[in-house]
Every structure is written in structure tokens, then in C-alpha cells.
Amino acid sequence: MARRRQASSSRLREATRLALVGALAAVLTLGAGPAQPSSAGHVSTIDEATHRMTVTDHGRTVMTFTVGFGKSHFRTPSGTFHVLGKNEVIRMTSCSANITCNPRDPNYYALTVHWAVRLTSAGVFVHAAPWDHAIGQADTSHGCIHLSTADAHRFYDFSRVGDTVIVKNAGGPSGS
């Protein structure tokens, strides 16, 4: 009889422990509400009308850059985004972006890209584009936002996951 009570008590303790672990996990993930930006003071506004990016920290402008946007059939989406991640170096291909996997297609690309700040899970980034000699003058990307290598490095170093990035007047499908 004592052995049954001991086994029953042990099962009850284990069940209680698992319930508490489950409740804690629920509170930490679901109960916390929607994800909030981790750095509410960092807000970047990128405007296709001016081809300018203004980076602020708690309302104070800390950087401005000339930028490039998506070309006519690959418009950069307008909207409010939050930085999802950062890559010092990333391989970007037209195949992974669901554009084309055919190397003979004029929209095919396979590039090693530096200082990439991810804005969408679909693959819109702010990144260095040393091959783009028309930044600020013509839109040549497949939807990403192009910066010079030096500017992209500065923006990458400043940015944190959760930062707010507002893209306006870009003409692509809304991202917010």
C-alpha cells in the first residue's frame, strides 16, 4: 500500500512539474502578446520619392543615405516593417526568391551580398549593392533596398532586431 502511495505521489509530482513547465512556456510565448520591437528608439524611414533613407535614434537623425529600390516589375513593398535578422554575408539567388532558376533568364541572379538587414520573410533586405552604380538615380533591384557598401555597413552596425523600418512611396504591394 505504501509503495502504491509513493508511486502515485511520484506521478503526481511529475505531472505537476510538467504542467508548470507547460504553463511557463505558454506564458513566455503566447501569453506575452505580440512581439514588440526590441529597440523602440531606432526608426528608419526610406522614401522612394526622394531616394533617401533617414535613420533616427529616439527622434534624433543619426544617419542619412541615398538608396535604390526595386525596378518596375519587382517593386519594393511600402509599409512598416521590423528588422527580422541580419547577415554580414548572405547568398541571394533569383531561385530562392522565386523569380527564376534559369541562368539564361535576364532576371536570374546569384550574388554574395554583404551587410544585409532582413525586413520580410519573403526576402526583402536593405543591403550593400556595390554593383549598382545608379543608387539614388534609377531603381534596379528585384525588390530589395540598395545602399553603397559603406552606408550598408553603417546601417547594419546600427540596426538591431526589432527596429522599425518604414518604406514609403515605393509603389510595391503593401507590407504592413
Q: Are 70 and 107 in contact (CB under 8 A)?
A: no
Q: What is the CA radius of gyration of the chain?
A: 23
Q: What is the pTM of this model?
A: 0.74
Q: Do residues 64 and 142 share a domain?
A: yes
Of the residues 42, 127, 142, 146, only one is catalytic, namely: 127
Active site residue 42: no
Q: Quick one: cell of 134?
A: 545608379
Number of domains in the chain: 2
Q: Would the pLDDT of 17 be above 60? A: no
Question: For residues 33 and 148, which has the higher predicted lDDT (pLDDT)?
Answer: 148
pLDDT the model gives residue 171? 77
Is 176 part of any domain? no
Question: Domain of 89?
Answer: 42-168
Q: Would the pLDDT of 127 be above 90? A: yes
Q: Which residues, including other chains, have CB under 8 Å from residue 127's CB and lie 6 or more apart? A: 90, 113, 114, 115, 116, 117, 144, 145, 146, 147, 152
Mean pLDDT in residue range 130-142: 93
Secondary structure, 3-state, 126-169: EEECCCCCCCCCCCCECCCEEECHHHHHHHHHHCCCCCEEEEEC
Q: Which residues, including other chains, have CB under 8 Å from residue 132's CB and lie 6 or more apart? A: 68, 140, 141, 146
Q: Do residues 48 and 21 share a domain?
A: no
Q: Per residue in 25-52, pLDDT tens?
A: 443 334 334 444 455 689 999 999 999 9
Q: Do residues 60 and 140 share a domain?
A: yes
Of the residues 42, 51, 142, 144, only one is catalytic, namely: 144
CATH number at residue 88: 2.40.440.10
Active site residue 51: no
Confidence at 97, pLDDT banded by 50, 70, 90: confident
pLDDT the model gives residue 7? 55
